[in-house]
Amino acid sequence: MEELFAGGRIIDAILVMVAIEAVALTAWLGRRGRARLARSLLPNLASGACLMLALRTALADGWWGWIALCLAGSLAAHVVDLAGRLRDR
């Protein structure tokens, strides 16, 4: 169990679950005519996924540049999410 966390493999499992969640939510909401809601959730999921990728890279002793790119991706997705929320108000 320690190796699962120390090597960052647990993050891989979480990222797979996030991808499944994104596909399932998009399909489920799309069938109910709420595709716009599904699109509004995707930047939030992308931001979290980028943060998890940054953590995975750090746990695997990855290059700091990859960590920075993951964090920048998370910031970009977060800004898109916030802009969408403010626009909807």
44-81 confidence digits (pLDDT tens): 999 999 999 999 999 999 999 999 999 999 999 999 99
Contact 66, 55 (CB under 8 A): no
61: alpha, beta or left? (left if phi > 0; alpha if psi -120 to 50): left
What pLDDT is stored for residue 35 in this prediction? 87
Q: How far apart are CA 14 and CA 61, in angstroms?
A: 19
- For 7, the 3-state DSSP assignment is coil
What pLDDT is stored for residue 64 in this prediction? 98
**pTM of the prediction?**
0.90
What pLDDT is stored for residue 61 in this prediction? 92
Angle at CA 47, nearest 5°, toward 42 and 48? 100
Residue type, 2: E
What does the block give as tokens for 52?
A: 């998890």
